[in-house]
Structure 1
Amino acid sequence: MTQWAYIGSFTSGGGRGITVAAVDPATGAPAPRTSVQAVVNPACLALDREAGVLYAVGDSNPGAVVALRTGPDGGLTPIGPAVDAGAAGPAHLCLAGGRVLTANYGGGSVSCFTRKPDGGLAGPPAVTAHHGAGPDPDRQRGPHVHQVLPAPAGPWVLGPDLGTDAVRVYAPGAPGEGLRVHGETVLRAGSGPRHLAFHPAGEVVYVLHELEPQMTVCRWDAVSGRLEPLAEVAIGPEGAPEGERVYPSVVCVSPDGRFVRAAVRGSNRILTYALAGGAEKPLLTSWVDCGGVWPRDLAQGPGGRLYVANEWSGDITWFDADDESGRLTPAGALRVPAAACVLFT
């Protein structure tokens, strides 16, 4: 059976929308077959594999979300028109509890969509607004939710807010009411939490910060829905031009739970942290050039490979990962203008 890659790209930057590519099982190379422009700037994708429905969020003003039926040939067919996201600039989306959620960076909120029986979206969404600000006058004048991610167990959803230096924990509300804020974990002022990832064991969360390059290691209690900061880990400027800032973008954990990796824009590096001392103790062991410019997204792919969406250079690069050391070795590249994200079936 063919494995497919769906690659989102910014149409406002010359991207093709969502590119459908067949993945070579031996090399991991994606071979583009077709593309679909079903929504402006599909910055993030989420796939319901069982239902065969792909969801894409459109990073625009107003923002939008579209549902697409996946075909046996990897093709995509929209299930109705794109639906208003209820806020500006949605940057991320996920599936949680049978609903579709979007993190609205521009709107400083989280939108919750009900799904129809055919996988389509029922609008308008229920919107949960954030409030507050941070000390950075350019980036933190108001809330900026950058991600929504369901916890591995329980009803919880987590959302890092770059604008208010906090991670909020949500619980589902009644049907039609969207999410309610269950708790809030405040992190270092001015750090700008952007993205997080769970360790496979489910008890540790890694929160990556964009404005102050660091990663906060947190303990997660799935029963109480509580997130507790434990330690801060520096995200080094290796390879960055002297005097220039770096902007971490995304963090992911290897499927075997042995390594944490972070993408860093500015230095254009992928950093690998080993967890040999325990999930709560990441140790930087290696770094590699991302093979492009401005790495926006990381994705675990077939064969244990790591894929990188490089927005400014317009390409997808991929790396083989050594099972023992975690060290990454460049394995290939594919031209994708204004690449934003990649997702595998």
Structure 2
Amino acid sequence: METLLLNRDDVGGNARMAEVIVAVEEAFAAYQRGDVQMPAKSYIDLPEYDGDFRSMPAYMDAGDWDAAGIKWVNVHTGNPERYDLPTVMGTMIYSDPRNAFPLAIMDGTTLTRKRTGAAAAVATDHLAVEDATSLGIVGAGVQSYTQLEAIGVVRDIETVVVADKREDAIEAFADRFGDEFDVRAGSIAEAASCDILSTVTPVESPLVSAADLGERTHVNAMGADAPGKNELGRDVVTDAKLVIDDYEQCTHSGEINVPWSQNVLTDADLYGELGEIVAGEKSGRTAEDGVTVFDSTGLAIQDVAAAHVVYERANEKDNGTPFELVDTRLR
């Protein structure tokens, strides 16, 4: 037996977004049913290197298929300037839960971008107005690309308003999507007034206030991934219909972690977890809803679900590089 090595191009080419969205939605449903094992994300803090490591293991039974894996990922803020490396890099090990054989080792950086976009799409599909045609994006980094790629699958997006201090980042985004969408540079307030807003920044001081938002804007808060980070003003999260991906992670390091630590938010302010909505235990958007917010921290089951899609498609198309990682002669 051989393990499949899948690089960035292999992962990108086989992570078909429509299929990844379906798989991630199945992961949320399995999570709600209790058909997953997902230990808490663990951190190794490296302040001397302005970074950290995170390990994210999970197993999920999605009914028609089951899968297991672990992602080893970092966040090193000085990488681009010091080493000409990405801030975030990840490696995914995808294993057969029947016998623990490592089926694939794949680029976890591209995988993370794809599954994060897919998670926003799942939330958008359940929480945004049905006739949404405009998407605002705050932060034109690499993650903004898969936000549009994924949300464009679940809503007929026509106009995209991008807010970022870096003009070159907006220009690059427009170059990529300008032939498919009406892409415009705009202020944070202009982006936030769209039908859907995705915030994908690493800030620790809120950028978006309630006054910026449209009356029925759905917000995907994607940027906060560590204690002290938050992108949305206190008045946004206290007034919105607030949906989270995971209670422990969101209260520790998600968008709500700062107001939570300040006792501004309590359990009573949380509408529920996205898995409850996906599983049909709670309703998504209703006619009475105004602003809705999805607080996404990223779950290991999303990585496993996306890795399943990538591995299956790569196998079908004979992509990747097979190699002998496990000596099967040893028993």
TM-score range, shorter chain: 0.3 to 0.5
Relative contact order higher in (CA < 8 Å, ≥ 6 apart): 2
With structure 1 as the length reference, what TM-score do the two structures score?
Answer: 0.32
Considering fraction of residues, name the structure with more helix. Answer: 2
With structure 2 as the length reference, what TM-score do the two structures score?
Answer: 0.33
